[in-house]
Amino acid sequence: MFDIKDLQSIEMPCFAYEPTKTFRKALSGLIPGDGVRVWASVRPPEGIHPASLNLEKLEVLSLTKRTLSQNPRCPLCGGRTASMGKGQGLRCRSCRVYDAGPAATGTRPSSL
């Protein structure tokens, strides 16, 4: 279950039942801001449950930029550094060398 918003900013709960493994994998690769076209049936409200969409088919129209934030490698041993706390810098997990550098950021390709 996830929420979906249309072009008029109307938000509805959406349920996706798994017809195939690739369908579920495509849904898990989506992030907020991705543009999709959906084919769904509307389930009317029942009791305490609001109206919802039962997803039948999905077409990906556009993907947002995926950013990746990762702590840098140690300059001495190449191991991954870890945060020592807010505003305290980074320390290598292997050789315990202190590094004040910020976390590295970049983009990654979509999994879709």
| Residue ranges in the chain whose pLDDT is less than 50 | none
Return the pLDDT at 111: 61
Note whether 102 and 87 are within 8 A (CB).
no
Q: Which residue has the tokens 């810098």?
A: 89
Return the pLDDT at 108: 65
Return the pLDDT at 110: 63
Of all residues in the chain, the percent with pLDDT exceeding 90 is: 0
- pLDDT per residue over 7-37, tens digit each? 777 788 888 776 666 777 778 788 888 888 8
Dihedral of CA 15/18/19/25: which sign?
positive
Query: pTM for this structure?
Result: 0.54
Note whether 112 and 66 are within 8 A (CB).
no
